[in-house]
């Protein structure tokens, strides 16, 4: 990975990075996050905010801060860019090549990465399998 390569965080990796979680144990992934943030190339898809809010409202995740405050603080991370769901990304998500087995959020993350030429940091098997099939650059941060 070059020091200027764009990186997209999957929702769970965003949480791991912000919480300095032990699940984020890959040194290459940690370096990728640091280097991308130094060059304002660290991306988070806006749909990850939706996904995290749904997870919190269903009780699957919780934080020491109120979720609104956690998100505001996390989005103010230096070098982090909140990437919006634009028309081209939405269309790409619906038309991903190959057999993609992920959910709608994963499709948007994959499409965003493909449009930006970015590497996706994810432990999600659907995204990792899609990367192994050659459609996406991925890095598993849990290894």
pLDDT by residue (tens digit) across 9-38?
999 999 999 999 999 999 999 999 999 999
Report the SS3 class of residue 103.
Answer: coil
Q: Look at residue 110 in the predicted model and tell me its pLDDT.
A: 98
Sequence-distant (6+) residues with CB within 8 A of 34 are none
Q: Provide mean pLDDT across the span 121-133.
A: 97
Terminal C-alpha separation, the chain: 16
Q: Does the pLDDT at position 1 exceed 60?
A: no
Q: Which residues pair with 82 in a beta bridge?
A: 44
CA 48 to chain centre: 7
Q: Does the pLDDT at position 2 exceed 80?
A: no
What residues does each domain of the chain span? 7-139
pTM (two decimals): 0.94
- Residue 3 pLDDT level (bands cut at 50, 70, 90): low
Token output for 136: 């996406």
Token output for 75: 């989005």
Average the pLDDT over each of 22-26, 51-55, 92-96, 134-138 and give the range with the smallest value: 22-26
Q: What is the CATH number assigned to the segment(s) 7-139? A: 3.40.50.1010
Q: Provide mean pLDDT across the span 1-13.
A: 84
């Amino acid at each position: 990975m070059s020091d200027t390569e764009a990186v997209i965080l999957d929702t769970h990796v965003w949480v791991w990075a912000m919480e300095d979680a032990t699940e984020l144990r890959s040194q290459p992934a940690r370096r990728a996050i640091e280097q991308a943030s130094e060059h304002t190339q660290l991306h988070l898809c806006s749909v990850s905010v939706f996904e995290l809010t749904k997870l919190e409202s269903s009780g699957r995740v919780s934080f020491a801060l109120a979720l609104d405050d956690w998100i505001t603080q996390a989005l103010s991370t230096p070098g982090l860019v909140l990437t919006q769901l634009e028309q081209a990304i939405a269309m790409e998500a619906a038309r991903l090549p190959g057999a993609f087995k992920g959910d709608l959020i994963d499709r948007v993350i994959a499409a965003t990465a493909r449009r930006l030429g970015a590497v996706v940091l994810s432990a999600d098997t659907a995204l990792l399998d899609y990367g192994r099939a050659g459609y996406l650059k991925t890095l598993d941060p849990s290894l």
